[in-house]
Chains A and B, each alone.
Chain A
Amino acid sequence: MKKVGSFFRKYGESYLMLGCWFAFFVFFVLIPIAISVVISLTDFNMLQTPEFVGPDNYIRLILSDEIFVKSLANTLLFAVITGPVGYIICFVMAWFINETGKYVRPFLTFLFYSPTLAGSIFVMWTYVFSDDAYGLLNSILMNMGITQSPIQWLTNPSYNFYVVIVVILWMSMGTSFLSFIAGLQSLNKSLFESAAIDGIRNRWQELWYITLPQMVPQLLIGAVLTISSSFAVGSVPAALTGNPSTDYSTHTLLLHITDYGNTRLELGYASAIAVVLFIIMVVTWSVINKVLHSLGKD
């Protein structure tokens, strides 16, 4: 008993401060995930009492839901294309901007970050890609004589996937971009000097052996953010191509969840999809974590 008392005298304050965030974590992250797992084992239509059905939802999800397979494929495609490409663009841009002077840098940072800052400003792309003959892209193409009639950029499944990718890449300068800039700012200058003396031959070697290993925490944060955002793609295709899109051409897992949760009112099934998405994200993150920690090690 005495031991406990002295323990609290010693560490009490720290635990109190920790406790706040721990409570938040428990109530808003852990418990919802747990509830979601439980609901995913039931048949729940939101109004009537849920009925326990065991793994039925998962079985149906994997064996008979074609749209799930399609949306999983779309999500992975979006993640593979926009994730790494966006991540690399982010880093390269941050690297470039870091080279500019101290007056230009904040301005450029603001400029590149602004699409994310402005939230759902991406809906302005619906004007660019409007289906009407008076839509920006259509009218330009028609005026130049390249096309004769308006192209349905957003509803024709042959085009809308690419449109969504373009818009997501345009928005990829997110929080990770800011953390990269911060990371580049906090590099230890003396290391560069000693590396130069030790015989670094070019900027690439400098980047690989000096810059990147110092930036692992920021890169890690950036990776986590990029993964979660590229797996959580949903609002962009929904706003641009409609929900659901033509023949589910831009349907993602997140949209599949909202489709079952909000439209079809099958919360058990929607939770099952969410759980699957959660597992995929955790697995991907641990792989990326390993890769990033091996940076700069031959």
Chain B
Amino acid sequence: MKKIVSVITVILIFVSSLFSIVVSAETADMARVIKESERVALPFEITKKAGYSISITYSALKGRSVSPQIAVSWDKPHTDSEDEIYDLPRTWADVREGERFKQDDYGNELSPTPVEKTTVKTVVIMPQNEAWETGFMLEKGAHTLYLEMIQEEVEIKSVAVNKVEAFASYKDYIKDAKSKHSGTENGAQTIYQDAELLHEKSHLEVAVSYDRSSPNIHPNEPSRIRYNILGGSSWASAGQWVSYKVNVDKAGFYKLNVVYRQRTVAGVDVRRRIYVDGVVPFEEFDCVLFPAVKSFVPLTPKADNGDCYIYLDKGEHEIKFEVVLDSLQDVIGRFQKVLKDLNDLSSRINVIIGEGVDLNRDYDFVSALPELVPTLTESVDVLSEIIADVSGSSDENGSQSARLEEAVRLFSKMAKRPNDIAKQIDYFRTQLYDLASVLSTMQTQPIELDYFELIPEEGQTSVKTKNFFSVFGFRAKAFFGSFVDDYSSMNAIKDGEDALEVWVSLGRDQAQVMNQLITDGFSSNTGIPVRLSLVTTNIMTAIASGKAPDVVLNLGSANIADLYYRDALVDISKMENIDNVLKRFYPSSLTSFKYNGGLYALPQTQSFPMMFYRADIFKANGYEVPKTWDEMYALLSKMQNNGMTMGISISEETFYMMLLQQGVGLYNEDMSATNLTDNKAVDAFSKWTNLFTKYGIPKSFDATNRFRTGQMPLVLNDYSFYRTLKVSAPEIQNSFAMAQLPGVKTENGINHSSHTGVTGAVVIKSANDDYTNAMKFIDWVTSDDTQSKYSFNSEIRVGISARVNTANKNVMSTISWSKSELDAITAQWEQAVQVPVSPAYYYISRNLNNAFRRVVYQYEKPIDVIYRYAHEIDAELDRKRTELNIGGEK
């Protein structure tokens, strides 16, 4: 284990003049805003060769909820090296009601809403590579510091460059403190602090959660939700911190007793740096290791011979816990490099092998790839070193080493017998995934905190552990409580009461967010009580049996059409203020909600496909991002030459895209027949099927996996694929991008259109003819304010996987997209077109699939096939229109 020699602290900034650095006046106090992607160069005069740290004092400007990011580099502008990018986190605080959190009608605590605080903070920047300990090594002379905002904007107050100095050891600290202070005052009490009641935090995702499993988690109730712990897998990346304010009545020496649990990553010690009043008091607090444990246990940081005490005088103090990687940074850096080399190697092997492996062929890898064996041998060496490094404290039960050893075994076998690589290529790819996931686990430092205490000298912990019987009683109460509690209704309005009945089929967390918004934002303002229920049953059967609600949220457009064709929905086009309401949406989202001059729903979510591509692979191979289909086809043949391919879904949505880009709709003007026999439609159909016959794109594939491995560096997929990648593919976080779909050149530029899927809020017809409240409600639900609060709250509660694909165009820009992502999404959104929903909608997709399969599997001629199926579809559409009396008498 390397000794921690030095780290600079926040306080140094104020005494920076003491150091032997000359800081030019304008940079020390600049107080200026740096905008997104703006670059600033600051000259510094260094008088002595040494390791330096950079302290940036800043205040984040109110913006979206993402952390601002800055790139820092010496003497050359930032290029695309990832270890130059740092977070300048915002400051958040949780809103509480009194001591604790707000409760719902049943006495369950509701998760607190975070609010942003504009405060001035200082971040100390050290290199994120093997020089993590020594600092930026600078020669004597003039240097330029480049700062570039990667994301969001901040106001930089000052920038200081300080020499890296060693920390005091605990021994020196305590000697110094003992000599200055007389010891602990009489009557000093143990100070208790719940971890969920934090003062400030750096990132939204660092959030409270609840665990009802034991009365030993404080506080707790058997069948009510108490948000009683902080953190978990969301408090795991370097730089995320949480701070607490504690009141000390009697000055003296206190030791810190932290009750924590770490069961997210098996067998791994996680690291936290502890600040007391903004300062790391001694080197033992610089990186405290918390070993993995299955249940909550107390831990007191230790020095050589016993617990560490800190001196606290009377008054308020701040204790802060920050995630640090420390010595792991070096390991991670080496790991990243070797993984990158191996991934490059893998794609070069792919070029030789092509899409399918021929086991009977001699590929002669050694002469085709002279670097193959050296790369493999080197990776074996580096990985073995890494195994040695982590198999100490950071990986106790060896789960990570075991996975690394498996990879090492394979690579050395491949290096020894390169001619057998073809046989192992699948296993090789799997191992690369696995290495990537080991790497991302290594970077995560999750911990859950229950509470911490400050125990004075000779003091005792204030918390008693409950015995077996009270634990048993607690569990029994929780078990029986589960029979009594109502899980489907979100609030305590009784069945008979006169309230607006709203059904929603969402995740429980999202429904809770919605319920909270309704209580705070709707019912309290309008006085209309709302009973929100989580329902997954078919709305059709509910209406047939007379149990229908007043309003249904998030209903798909096909379901909505089924209902209005059967006269079950209320026409909302006469709603108050409807013109202003409709301004919230793109016209494309309303297409399928209009029928017979009426409007039957307000859009809530909207989804459409985007083009996802691997920027790193594109760069390495010199590919251009295609804008038209002609460029797509050209790129496809290049990719296929390099053993890669594209991912395009065989679903009918691809056909709709082709069709709409030809400028043809699926139906004719009055929706009485399809346009499928139109020349352009036949052309679109051939293009769709050609992708899978002529161009040989795989018909079925796992988009996420093949995109990760780089076998498919370009995928057309719904834009929610972004969420999937963010959650499940951490290793390519910064190497993929979104762009507009490829289009067709027309006189007015390129037509990028595609089909868009919409869900909406509807009002169900009922016996009493008064729908004012219901209309008010759906107006409120789709409003800018509600939608942005809803998306913000669900994302912080559930994580990025719950990011809302809102249909409200004003809200999209408030969601945490980066600027380039937002631009791409908006551009595609503007061109999205919705294929209307006819009463025979089910017959379209079914027969298009049949037609597709006839062409692709049985090699029939596209034009014959589409004519035959078009006839069937039109016949069903005709029949359905007669059945439902649409379009007058026939």
Contacts and interface: CB of A to CB of B under 8 A. Distances in A.
Interface of A: 43, 45-48, 130-134, 142-143, 145, 148-150, 152, 155-158, 244, 246-247, 263-266
Given A133-B356, A145-B360, A156-B853, A47 B544 contact: yes
Contact of B540 (A43, A150, A155, A265): A265
B853 A131 contact: no
Q: Which 4 A-B pairs have the closest CB atoms?
A: A47-B566, A131-B700, A132-B700, A156-B857
Contacts of B850: 246-247
Contact of B702 (A45, A132, A155): A132
B366 interface: no
Given A244-B846, A265-B562, A132 B701 contact: yes
Given A131-B699, A131-B700, A132-B702, A47 B540 contact: yes
B884 interface: yes
Contacts of A45: 566, 883-884
Nearest to A264: B842
A189 B566 CA distance: 66
Contacts of B853: 152, 155-157, 246-247
B591 interface: no
A48 B567 contact: yes
B698 interface: yes
Given A132-B701, A152-B699, A48 B360 contact: no
A46 B544 contact: yes
A46 B566 contact: yes
A71 to B, nearest CB: 14
B492 interface: no
Contacts of B563: 47
Nearest to A265: B562
Nearest to B540: A46
Contacts of B884: 45
A145 B356 CA distance: 11
Given A155-B857, A246-B849, A265-B566, 13 more contacts: A47-B544, A47-B566, A48-B567, A131-B699, A131-B700, A134-B702, A148-B356, A149-B356, A152-B699, A152-B700, A156-B857, A247-B854, A265-B540
A47 B356 contact: no
A237 B461 CA distance: 64
Interface residues on B, range: 20 to 34
Contacts of B698: 132-133
A282 to B, nearest CB: 28
B568 interface: yes
Contacts of B568: 47
A266 B562 CA distance: 12
| Interface of B: prevailing SS | helix
Contacts of A155: 853, 857
A47 B568 CA distance: 7
Contacts, number: 60
B506 interface: no
Contacts of A158: 857-858
Nearest to A144: B359
B138 interface: no
A247 B872 CA distance: 12
B877 to A, nearest CB: 12
Nearest to B565: A45
17 contacts: A43-B883, A46-B540, A47-B544, A47-B563, A133-B356, A134-B702, A145-B360, A152-B857, A156-B853, A158-B858, A246-B853, A247-B850, A247-B853, A263-B842, A265-B540, A265-B566, A266-B883
B543 interface: yes
Contacts of B858: 158
Contacts of B567: 47-48
Contacts of A148: 356
Nearest to B355: A133
Contacts of A46: 540-541, 544, 566
Interface in B538-596: 540-541, 543-544, 562-563, 566-568
Contact of B359 (A143, A149, A157, A246): A143
B547 to A, nearest CB: 13
A40 B846 CA distance: 26
Nearest to B885: A48
Interface in B518-549: 540-541, 543-544
Nearest to B696: A149
A239 to B, nearest CB: 17
A45 B563 CA distance: 10
Contacts of B702: 132, 134
A48 B700 CA distance: 41
Contacts of A265: 540, 562, 566
B650 to A, nearest CB: 10
Nearest to A132: B700
Nearest to A151: B857
Contacts of B700: 130-132, 150, 152
A148 B359 CA distance: 12
A156 B858 CA distance: 9
Contacts of A149: 356
A156 B699 CA distance: 12
Interface string B831-871: 00000000000100010011001100110000000000000
A28 to B, nearest CB: 17
